[in-house]
Structure 1
Amino acid sequence: MNLPPSHSESSGFDQLESRIQRWVWAEGWTSLRDAQEWAVPVLVDADQDVIIAAATAAGKTEAAFLPILTNLLNRDDPPGSVLYISPLKALINDQWDRLSRLCEQLEIPVVAWHGDISSSKKHRFLKSPEGVLLITPESLEALFVNRGSSLGGVFQHLRYIVVDELHAFIGSERGKQLQSLMHRVELVAGHRLPRVGLSATLGDMKMASEFLRPGNADGVTVIESKSSNQTLQVQVRGYIQPPMSELKKKPVKLSDQAENEDETENEASPDFAIADHLYKVLRGSNNLIFPNSRSQVEWYADQLRRRCEKDGVPNEFWPHHGSLSKDLREQAEHALKAGTQAASAICTTTLELGIDIGSIKTVVQIGAPPSVASLRQRLGRSGRRPGEKATLRVYCKESPLRDGSSLSDQLRQGLVQTIAMVRLLAKGWFEPPRAQGIHASTLVQQCLSVIAQCGGASAADLWKSLIAEGAFPKVEKPDFVKLLKALGEHELIVQDSSGLLLPGTVGERLINHYEFYSAFTSDEEFRLVCDGRALGSVPVSRPLTKDQRIILGGRRWQVRDVDLQAKVIIVSAARGGAPPQFDGLGAMVHDNVRQEMRAVLADTLPCPFIDQGAQELLDEARKTFVSLGLGKRYIVESGGKCYLMSWLGDHANDALRLLLNHVGLSCDNAGLAIEVDADIGRTQMALKEVGSLDAADLDSILSEVENMLREKWDWALPQSLLIKSFASISLDISTAILFAQSHSVENKRKKLRCIDPMLDAENTAMLPRWADDE
């Protein structure tokens, strides 16, 4: 949207305070961007909740703060304040730099508050709480716990709550903590505060509005920028990944300067070809490279650095992930932002959010993307200069086919998922977050936090502030009573003679530890042990049951026992064919992605954005799809195995696998297909049994799940609430039962609308295309 000059005809500009108008002129702006123009009238009076959704670098921060600061300057009341909540300390530091340049001229203080900020600066704000306070949810939680009695004075002149990167919170325990904290801030402030959400990626505005203001989504004003009009160019390259047993080991010398550093590497691995191609096409520009694991980040960073050394040129490739020290992460960020020489970061999701790293030419994804939303967020970094295209390169590795290959491998799951995600991205679709989770773990933390804040609280107080009017409305009163009893049994709380709830022995110790303020923990890794020998470790974030098969080191293992306390999985070698490339422990795939994968396989036209190698792999997959009749059948036999094809996402497929196990059918979720240890007739009968199950009978259905302790405080929950919370977060049981009902023996001809293939005629015209490599 091309707006008129800001100094002449812009109604939004005219409503800004005069000093802010002068700042806009001094910055050389000739117009306000569309989101900035629309945000001024709805934010300047501080009387409504607002979501501003715009692409990365589209000026969301200014869209919010130009009218917010105008409000602060125009009011005659005592100096007001703004609470800005961010998911990352690094983002707070970025925004402090950005806002300070504006606010310095307005004489409005900007205060960053996190662990790296000195106590003197924090005390200064507490004594004179005015201006903009930039804080993380964890630091805000610490304020409630440690300064609860004084927060009424700190927040009495608060005028706005601003949440940056709103999408990063929705659907997580941290997001539930944030919702609770916003409500608690309003309680101590004594009045309702306008909430402002900023985000570049929001798949469902209604859901985002409900998250920002629970119970009043219709009252949230949504400002959605349409100004990016980003042109996308994509190339997907396909490679064959030889089995571990067939990889020939041969010394590979990459540096003539260090003879002692020669290593024996699997030179047949496509990773070397990918590293060579990355070095060829990325050198001389700024780029982001996203492998799907930290170990792969380190491997590619090392390989690309070696290639620079071999050619005698300065290193351009820097690793960036959460396990690295702050100094090493900042080294990569500074290299990207400096602009003095080319730099590429090999990174995890640490560089996915809005930290300022300057303009990026190319985004690289190695392996299937975690989600369409993640892909969109990452691509927001690329093509930000006028006339520049957003550029995406994806490298997919597939297993060679042989007797016994899984159906997932025959259908080239990783490649087809990537193609489906790019097609959905081109159509403008991306996953809405799953916001239906109860997150009872976070309720435990919030109960303890309120008790610490107030020096004690009654059960009625907790019910009202956290559940009846707070962030946990799905928790029913009987479960809340059981929860308080369980907290007492764990010595997290005690009750005095007046009925007041106070911290118990264990509760007081945990509340006084800095780790209390965080509502979440990182995925813990489980060690795999076979016959007393450690095989390695994996993060297990999917339902785990005995006799389930999992993949590690290119081999299939069967779960024999799970020790939750020691984080150990006892396994034995599993029989069967070659393990699928899919490991069953990765990101959760959405229903729509699986439906689009079906459409990709059913299509007959060449894909315009993949290379010859990828096209050959896709042709193989389509041939298998047709030969097995997967356009019409949902149960097939291939390679001596039976496969159930639901074309549903992982939340439903995980539930379907557990339900089939529950009725006595041994099976495993291999991603695209559910591998079944039975013939077609027994599978159909099992589906009929699943279709008759009651989705509310969670205690029975989930009795075999070994790893329901997912979130930080799950250990303190009563069993009934733990099961409900786990199911709400991890499974889609209703959809799984509906699928079974629609595909049981009696109803096998009925079609389930939600899994019809998406064979949109306009898909082909909308697809991005790719120019030849330079």
Structure 2
Amino acid sequence: MTATDRLHPGLVHHIVNTLGWRTLRPLQAAAIEPILSGDDALLLAPTAGGKTEAAVFPALTAMADGNWTGISVLYLCPLRALLNNLHPRVAGYASWLGRTTGLWHGDTSATQRRRLRLERPDILLTTPESLEAMLVSTLTDPRQVFADLRIVIVDEVHAFAGDDRGWHLLAVVERLSRLAGRRIQRVGLSATVGNPEDLLRWLQGTNATHRPGAVIAPSAPPGPAPTIDVTLDYVGSVDNAATVIATMHRGEKRLAFCDSRAQVEQLALALRAKGVRTFVSHSSLAVDERRQAEQAFAEARDCVIVATATLELGVDVGDLDRVIQLDAPRTVASFLQRLGRTGRRPGTDRNTLFLATKQDTLLKAAGLLTLWRDGYVEPVTPPPRPRHIAAQQVLALCLQEGRIGGETWPSWYGDLAIFDHTALAIVEWLVESGHLDRDAGMLAIGPQTERRYGRRHFMELLTVFAAAPEFAVLHGRREVGSTDALVLTMKVDGPRVIVLGGRPWKVTHIDWNRQRCYVEATDLPGRSLWHGFLPPESWMLAQSQRRVLLGTEPDVNWSNRAVHTLAALRQQRASQTWADGSVVEAREDEHRWWTWAGRRANATIAATLPRAVVDGARLDDHMIRLRGDLTANELRQLVDAVDVGRLPAPDIDERAVAGLKFSDVLPPDLAVATLAERAADTAGAAAVLTAPLRWVSAP
């Protein structure tokens, strides 16, 4: 018996006759047995590797074989756009067996939601935030809605696990298990990660000690490996990047990634000025604007779509010829996702063209490509100490249940890692601060929670990711997207013009109370701007850039401009690197300690040696600013006195705690401690502090 023989005959018929597949892909075949056996599973494959079918086909077979009814399968995604993209495909597969699917997220209309409540689908596609909104809604009884739940499929699970949305997801799934009265099978879909076994155990949560789990990542089929064409070029500016894109690869469909919304808008505007048919996709565009752009791009040729990472996670924009990366993504894993967008047609290569707009980003791209060529992929590490998510979950459970037992609420979560020894202290603080009411041993939502989160049916309490408030941008009655208030308050000479969707818009009126901005089309130059910060570089990426300066070069195609720029960089920064350890570059006003350790490790070193660092200096990924009156002997004495087994957490400005979502429902000292522990890299700091140190004079 082959693996395919385990699938429902109706599915096999359509796989062969409707899809025209003669065989399943290795991942799809390998996933059938463990999923049908009820095991938890992590399915690993590159973009377009058939992961959705690998999970859905056996889930549909189990549904038919077990005669499941009601919502028996949940399909969770991190992005609404990905859900919109997947829904028609999953619905088509389900229809082969006479089963139904539903789509529920923030853009789902009230009419559609009423229909889903009355006629529950067999498979529900949603986000964790929308799922929790269903749990606490007064319009649904979660015990009825989720009574038949058997399987949860988590798409792009690595994207969840890397931030607090992952902890939130696990907590919601634990509550669903309690409501359904059974342990729910968990299936995660992921691109390649550096620690798949750890990611599987994390996904299993409290299932880990009760249900088998399997990482399913078949090796590539025999035959020649796909050709990969990666080119690194230095162009010096976004406008020069637009010139290169407009000139090269004409007639092809190109996807250009930028790592900020402002850079997306800048590049799109420059491309359109050069006559290139250009589309735009990022999170501040209105839903209809994004959908129209993505659909038009999917159906077009000889065009470019410029996007942030929103198009990295599997959204189908048709058959691509080329991926272009401005500057560099943050991780090798992200690069692999983007690279995997190409080479899907027989006879085509996987490819990415890097266009560095600055010398520093050329170095970063070279460092990242060095890691890639070394075969390195980052481990997915959930953020430590999610105490704020623990506080949020206690409040959300009170919303769901109305009242919960002050001693029994932990039973909803078992030994899930979001709750540590501080959990009881957090609940006591919530009571004392008025966020919870306690009566006869029962806990309920208190007046302070009502005041802070009660608007819009507590939606702000149910949304784990923090986003700066933005103004809706309207052209007539049509919403174009949203913009940061900062671009509306900056002083300007003449008309105020913003760029959104790759087009300039003149602001005609601002409704400050309703946070709306009215615009009309214009040809005047404008700008785009959003609040944000660059995430810290990892130890591995920072060290890889150091290796590049010391002579390592990734085996990719280099343009002459990139070769000459790197040579100049190596000459300029020769005093900042040393093969045997780190370097202190002595200057008159301050010294610079070139650790190449990443911002978290540098923050840990700064907290360890407060007498050595410049007070209040901004932290850097590559170096630490030291006092100008510090001598080499004094620094060595301070370093020698450090116990690297007991390094302190970085100092945290209490104002920074505001950036931690739900920090206001934690005791202030715990909020600061949580942020400090997340800002630390003790292993990287220890590596620098125990390595040789060279003291040189700045050139």
| TM-score interval for Structure 1 and Structure 2 normalised by the shorter chain | 0.7 to 0.9
2:502 aligns with none
Deviations 1:190-226 (A, max 9, x none): 1111100011242310221122113665942111144
- Are the aligned partners of 1:54 and 1:226 in contact in 2 as well (CA < 8 Å)? no
Moved more, 271-280 or 158-167: 271-280
Residue 336 of structure 1 and its aligned partner are, at CA, apart by: 1.9
Q: Report the counterpart of residue 713 of structure 1 in structure 2.
A: 662
Contact 1:413 1:672 in 2 (8 A): no
Number of the residue aligned with 2:181? 190
The structural deviation recorded for 1:691 is 4.2
* Alpha-carbon separation, structure 1, partners of 2:219 and 2:581: 41
Aligned residue identity for 1:299: Q
Q: Show the counterpart of 1:359.
A: 319
SS of residue matched to 1:83: strand
In the alignment, the residues of structure 2 paired with residue 13 and residue 141 of structure 1 have an alpha-carbon distance, to the nearest angstrom, of 36
Aligned to 2:498: none
Say if 2:403 and 2:444, in contact at 8 Å, map to a contact too: yes
The residue type paired with residue 156 of structure 2 is: E
- Residue aligning to 1:425: 372
Query: What secondary structure, in the 3-state scheme, does the structure 2 residue paired with 1:621 have?
Result: helix
- Quickly say closer, same or farther: Cα 1:633–1:209, change in 2 above 3 A: closer
| 1:279-332 superposed Cα distances (whole Å, 9 cap, x missing partner) | 011432211112232222112111111111xxxxxx521122111112221122
Q: Match of 2:30?
A: 38
CA contact (8 A) 2:594 2:623 kept: yes
| Superimposed CA distance per residue, residues 100-130 of structure 1 (whole angstroms, 9 cap, x where no aligned partner) | 2222231101111123334454344444545
Residue 397 (structure 1) aligned with residue 357 (structure 2): yes
Q: How many residues align?
A: 630
For 1:414 and 1:11, the matched residues in 2 are separated by 50
Residues 87-126 of structure 1 correspond to what in structure 2 (within 5 A)?
A: 87-126=78-117
- Indicate yes or no: 2:597 matched with 1:648: yes
Change (3 A) 1:429 1:217: farther
Question: Per the alignment, in what secondary structure is the counterpart of residue 438 of structure 1?
Answer: coil
1:297 maps to which of 224, 246, 264 = 264
Within 2, Cα distance between the matches of 1:233 and 1:175? 34
Corresponding residue number in structure 1 for 2:511? none
Structure 1 Cα separation of the partners of residues 254 and 2 of structure 2: 39
Q: Report the more deviating stretch, 353-362 or 454-463.
A: 454-463
2:423 pairs with 480, 483, 495, which one? 480
* 1:236 equivalenced with 2:228 (yes/no): no
Deviation at 1:652, TM superposition (A): 1.3
Q: Aligned partner of 1:513: which letter?
A: F
Map of 2:624 onto structure 1: 674
Question: What is aligned with 2:217?
Answer: 224
Q: After TM superposition, list the pairs within 5 Å mapping 1:283-322 onto structure 2.
A: 283-308=250-275, 315-322=276-283
User: Does the 8 Å contact 2:102/2:121 carry over to 1?
Assistant: no
Shift in Å at residue 449 of structure 1?
0.8
Which region of structure 1 is more displaced relative to structure 2, 683-692 or 109-118? 683-692
- CA apart distance, 1:519: 1.2
The residue type paired with residue 534 of structure 2 is: G
Structure 2 counterpart of 1:416:
363
Q: Does the CA contact (< 8 Å) of 2:321 and 2:342 recur in 1?
A: yes
Specify the code of the residue in structure 2 equivalent to 1:34. P
Moved more, 604-613 or 715-724: 604-613
Q: Distance in 1 between matches of 2:203 and 2:387?
A: 19
Aligned residue in 1 for 2:503: none
CA distance in 2, matches of 1:604, 1:29: 45
Q: Does 1:274 align with 2:215?
A: no
Instruction: Give 5+ residue unaligned stretches, structure 1.
Output: 1-9, 241-269, 309-314, 399-411, 536-582, 749-774
* Match runs of 1:157-168 below 5 Å: 157-168=148-159
Answer yes or no: is the 8 Å Cα contact 1:180–1:471 preserved in 2: no
Work out whether 1:75 is the aligned partner of 2:22: no
The C-alpha deviation readout for 1:376-413, integer Å capped at 9, x for no partner, is 11112111112211111112233xxxxxxxxxxxxx54
Pairing of 1:441-456 with structure 2 (within 5 A): 441-456=388-403
Query: What residue in structure 1 maps to residue 14 of structure 2?
Result: 23
Could you tell me how far 1:99 is from its partner in structure 2?
1.3
Instruction: Identify the residue that residue 179 of structure 1 maps to in structure 2.
Output: 170
Deviates more, 1:286-295 or 1:479-488: 479-488
User: Is the Cα–Cα contact under 8 Å of residues 191 and 337 in structure 2 kept in the other structure?
Assistant: yes
Residue of structure 1 in register with 2:416 after alignment: 470
**What secondary structure is seen at the aligned counterpart in 2 of 1:435?**
coil
Task: Please report how far the alpha carbon of residue 708 of structure 1 lies from its aligned counterpart in structure 2 after TM superposition.
Answer: 2.6
* Aligned-partner residue type, residue 488 of structure 1: V
Q: Find the aligned partners of 2:619 and 2:71 in 1 and give their Cα distance.
A: 54
CA contact (8 A) 2:163 2:383 kept: no
- Counterparts of 1:282 and 1:95, CA distance in 2: 30
Q: CA deviation at 1:524?
A: 7.3
- Using the TM superposition, name which of 140-149 and 498-507 deviates more: 140-149
Q: SS of 1:322's equivalent?
A: coil
1:677 offset after TM fit, Å? 2.9
- Separation (CA, whole Å) in 1 of partners of 2:86 and 2:542: 38
- Residue identity in the other structure for 2:325: Q
TM normalised by structure 1 equals: 0.75
Structure 2 residue matching 1:708: 3-state secondary structure = helix
Structure 1 residue 703: deviation in Å? 5.8
**How has the CA–CA distance of structure 1 residues 598 and 664 changed in structure 2, closer, same or farther, with 3 Å as cutoff?**
closer
Q: Following TM superposition, by how much is the alpha carbon of 1:514 offset from its aligned partner in structure 2, in angstroms?
A: 2.5
Q: Is 1:346 the equivalent of 2:306?
A: yes
For residues 739-766 of structure 1, the C-alpha deviation after alignment (integer angstroms, 9 at most, x for no partner) is 3355589xx9xxxxxxxxxxxxxxxxxx
1:631 to 2:576 alignment? no
CA RMSD in angstroms, aligned pairs only: 3.1
Amino acid at match of 1:425: W
Cα displacement string for residues 220-255 of structure 1 (whole angstroms, at most 9, x for unaligned residues): 211114448443211111245xxxxxxxxxxxxxxx
For 1:767, the equivalent position in structure 2 comes to none
**Corresponding residue number in structure 2 for 1:207:** 198
Matches of 1:584 and 1:99 in 2, distance apart? 35
Counterpart check, 1:435 vs 2:374: no
Mapping of residues 339-738 of structure 1, within 5 Å = 339=300, 341-398=301-358, 413-466=360-413, 468-473=414-419, 475-476=420-421, 479-496=422-439, 498-509=440-451, 510-511=453-454, 512-522=457-467, 585-603=533-551, 608-624=556-572, 630-637=578-585, 640=588, 642-661=591-610, 665-666=614-615, 667-678=617-628, 679-681=630-632, 682-688=634-640, 690-691=642-643, 694-695=646-647, 698=649, 702=651, 704=653, 706-733=655-682, 735-737=684-686
- 1:324 matched to 2:282: no
Q: How far 1:607 moved relative to its partner?
A: 6.0
> What is the SS of the residue equivalent to 1:707?
helix
Question: Residue type of the partner of 1:110?
Answer: T
Q: From the superposition, tell whether residues 606 and 382 of structure 1 become closer, same or farther in structure 2 (CA, over 3 Å).
A: closer
Q: 1:123 to 1:603 in 2, by over 3 A?
A: same
Query: Which stretch has the larger CA shift, 28-37 or 355-364?
Result: 355-364
Distance 1:273 1:21, change over 3 A: same
| Cα distance, 1:211–1:524 mapped onto 2, change above 3 Å | farther
Q: Please say if residues 342 and 351 of structure 2, whose CA atoms lie closer than 8 Å, have aligned partners that are also in contact.
A: yes
Letter in 2 for 1:15: R
- Select between 97-106 and 615-624 the one with higher mean Cα deviation: 615-624
Change (3 A) 1:335 1:491: same
Q: What are the ranges of 5 or more consecutive residues in structure 2 without an aligned counterpart?
A: 471-483, 493-530
Cα distance, 1:362 vs. partner?
1.6
SS of the residue corresponding to residue 346 of structure 2 reads coil
| Distance in 2 between residues matched to 1:431 and 1:205, nearest whole Å | 11
